[in-house]
Amino acid sequence: MSHIFPRHTKSDLPTAARGEGVYLYDTDRKQYFDGSGGAAVSCLGHGDADVTAAIKSQLETLAFAHTSFFTSASAEALADKLIANAPEGLDRVYLVSGGSEAMEAALKLARQYCIEIGQPERHRIIARRQSYHGNTLGALATGGNMWRREPFAPMMIETTHIAPCYAYRGQATGETAFDYGQRVANELEQEILRLGPETVMAFVAEPVVGATAGAVPPVDGYFKRIREICDQYGVLLILDEVMCGMGRTGTFFACEQDGVAPDITAIAKGLGAGYQPIGAMLCSAEIYRAIEDGSGFFQHGHTYIGHPVAAAAALAVITKLTDGGLAKRAQVMGAKLQSALEDAFGQHPHIGDIRGRGLFRGLEIVEDRETKRPFAADRSIHKVLKRETFAAGLICYPMGGTIDGRNGDHILLAPPFILTDAH
Ligand code: PLP
């Protein structure tokens, strides 16, 4: 009898034994094609020798030194490399152990910044429906996945949700994509005015929506308008690139393609590429300076922040993504994946939309292509898809979500960037 507390207590999972390239193998030697990189984690695939060597070398010299006593060479080098490749204005890196932690750090830093600059009444967060920002209480409250939030609702911090930028569902007949983007972005302004601009701390969004909607990119101009509104009302823009960052969409940060820079951003998943648990929160020089010139202390922290081995692994990963050109490869292979998916499923009666950026692609499953009507929730289409694809040796990421109150199903694909034409 197992003593592991699994995610799903009623399922009987195979034991993973080995990973190599784009494949995982279980203890019965069954091969699985990792078509979703786990959950958009394994950007380099499995068994990367360079990352393994970097981890070994770091372990042999220094495994751990508490960050209240020391900094470390690997954490410093990783921060330098991240900032050298980050959107303009981002200047400081706070290293944590995963995506939810990065989002918690982002929310708490935003709040502390408001206090330090003498605006303590700013505490409200505006986020979007069809979003996921993590499973810890602050990140969960920020996310718009109602099913995940529901049991913990009485414990939630105050967040309100506006419409996502989801053209397949939201763009009206006769409306251009650009006008649609401006219309939904303007919901942010209306919400800020409704809440009282002096009380709003931050707007939080994923540049390309991952798990709750299936790789939904924004339309042109949407984030530029969001940035304008945030600047007008002194609201911080927090972009959650935990899933879509680190080259996944074909640029190192997804927001580069929208021509905007956030005040704070969160990354994880592809940063450690599965080799180490690591995430990071990046903030602007202005925010950092407010803390530095004010209290001098970010009232946050976990034992494992800035872990030297995790940092060494992440440095090796992102060196391959940037200098090694793998993020660009995600762009090239992503375009090929999109056209292959369109060839295979473009006319499928139950595929309503095929979309995404880079190697971050989503297929929306519908009962009726014409009306875009989703399958009823009790059909649990995403569960059937997960079971059948896994049995056939494909790891992909089917999810059910709510589309403005209704059920919807999609499949997320996020394969390793080492994918070849043959794959
Ligand atoms: N933010 C986004 C956009 C995510 O997709 C996820 C995880 O799926 C998280 C945050 C939380 O990250 P983690 O599971 O590493 O805590």
pLDDT tens digits along 184-221: 999 999 999 999 999 999 999 999 999 888 999 999 99
Q: What is the mean pLDDT of residues 351-360?
A: 98
Residue whose CA lies nearest to ligand 1 atom number 9 = 134
Residue whose CA lies nearest to ligand 1 atom number 13 = 99
DSSP per residue, 127-171: EESS----SSHHHHHHS--HHHHGGGGGGPPPEEEE----HHHHP
What's the pLDDT score for residue 158? 87
CATH classification at residue 102: 3.40.640.10
Q: Is 210 in the pocket of ligand 1 (CB under 6 A)?
A: yes
Do 72 and 44 fall within a single domain?
no
What's the pLDDT score for residue 378? 83
Q: Is 100 in the pocket of ligand 1 (CB under 6 A)?
A: yes
What's the pLDDT score for residue 402? 62
When divided into structural domains, the chain yields a total of 2
Q: What is the mean pLDDT of residues 232-248?
A: 98
Q: What is the mean pLDDT of residues 297-319?
A: 97
Rounded alpha-carbon distances, angstroms, from residue 270 to 25, 248, 274? 21, 8, 7
Q: Tell me whether residue 314 is in a domain.
A: yes
Give residues with Cβ within 8 angstroms of 212, minimum separation 6: 130, 131, 132, 143, 144, 145, 399, 401
ipTM, two decimals: 0.99
User: DSSP code of 48?
Assistant: -
Of residues 317 and 130, more confidently modeled:
317
What's the pLDDT score for residue 148? 86
pLDDT tens digits along 384-423: 999 999 999 999 999 986 665 556 899 999 999 999 999 9
Q: Kindly state the helix (H) or strand (E) to which residue 291 belongs, with its residue range.
A: helix 285-293
pLDDT tens digits along 26-71: 999 999 999 999 999 999 999 999 999 999 999 999 999 999 999 9
Q: Tell me whether residue 151 is in a domain.
A: yes
What's the pLDDT score for residue 99? 98
The pLDDT mean for the chain works out to 96
Pocket test for ligand 1, best of 41, 42, 96, 100 (most atoms within 8 A of CB): 100
Of residues 271 and 211, more confidently modeled:
271
- The boundaries of the domain holding residue 246 are 53-322
Residues 152 and 167: their CA atoms lie apart, in Å, by 30
pLDDT tens digits along 13-27: 999 999 999 999 999
Q: Is 132 in the pocket of ligand 1 (CB under 6 A)?
A: yes
Q: What is the mean pLDDT of residues 310-321?
A: 98
Q: What is the mean pLDDT of residues 332-341?
A: 98
Do 93 and 229 fall within a single domain?
yes
Do 255 and 293 fall within a single domain?
yes
Q: Which residue has the tokens 């969960």?
A: 140
Do 136 and 195 fall within a single domain?
yes
Neighbours of 236 (CB within 10 A): 25
What's the pLDDT score for residue 376? 87
Output the CA torsion 138→141→144→149 (10° steps): 120
Q: Is 134 in the pocket of ligand 1 (CB under 6 A)?
A: yes
Residues 205 and 67: their CA atoms lie apart, in Å, by 30
Do 148 and 231 fall within a single domain?
yes
Q: Which atom of ligand 1 is nearest to the CA of 279?
A: 15
Query: What are the start-end ranges of the E strands in 292-395?
Result: 351-357, 360-365, 394-395
Domain boundary (289, 322, 355) is at 322
Q: What are phi and psi of 168, to 5 degrees?
A: -55, -35
C-alpha of residue 232 to centroid of ligand 1, in Å:
29
pLDDT tens digits along 69-123: 999 999 999 999 999 999 999 999 999 999 999 999 999 999 999 999 999 999 9
C-alpha of residue 133 to centroid of ligand 1, in Å:
6
